[in-house]
Amino acid sequence: MTAKQNSATEPEDAHTEDETIPHLGDSLTRLEPELNNPTRLGIVSSLKNRDRAEFKLLRDSLGVSDSVLSRHITALEKAGMIEVKKGYVGKRPRTWVSISKDGSRRLEAHIQALRELAGA
């Protein structure tokens, strides 16, 4: 094939064989397994810039059922990423959720690893 034919089949910015890609292993190991689920990432992200959120607010903003949210909150609480407080407003039971210091730190590390993987 001539050079002219080759240039027609390969884009001008085609990668050469001696080009390298960044080593992504370190970034991959820093991804937080508890945050790989979109609902869990949504819960922790929603709590990042607030003191606490009521269960109903999280449920409605994430668009999930009570049972799905409850299951993910339990998993995040066991992982030490969030704290759960139960109480009453009048006679009605309420559940409030807040991000822990460790959860905030782990969320930031997860986001940084994602940025590195995306090349930002």
What is the residue extent of each domain of the chain? 23-118
- Is 70 exceeded by the pLDDT of residue 58? yes
What token pair was written down for 42? 């949504």
23-118: CATH architecture: Orthogonal Bundle (1.10)
- pLDDT at 10 (0 to 100): 57
Choose among 54, 99, 51: nearest CA to 79.
99
- pLDDT at 26 (0 to 100): 77
Residue in the structure block whose two tokens are 């240039």:
7
Using N-to-C axis directions, what is the helix angle for 38-47 and 101-118, rounded to 10°?
120
DSSP summary character for residue 43: H
Higher pLDDT, 75 or 13: 75
> Under DSSP, is residue 87 helix (H, G, I), strand (E, B) or coil?
strand
Higher pLDDT, 118 or 54: 54
- Is 70 exceeded by the pLDDT of residue 16? no
- Does the pTM surpass 0.85? The reply is no
Average pLDDT in the chain: 87
What token pair was written down for 95? 């559940």
Burial of 31 (0-12, 13-18, 19+ CB in 10 A): middle
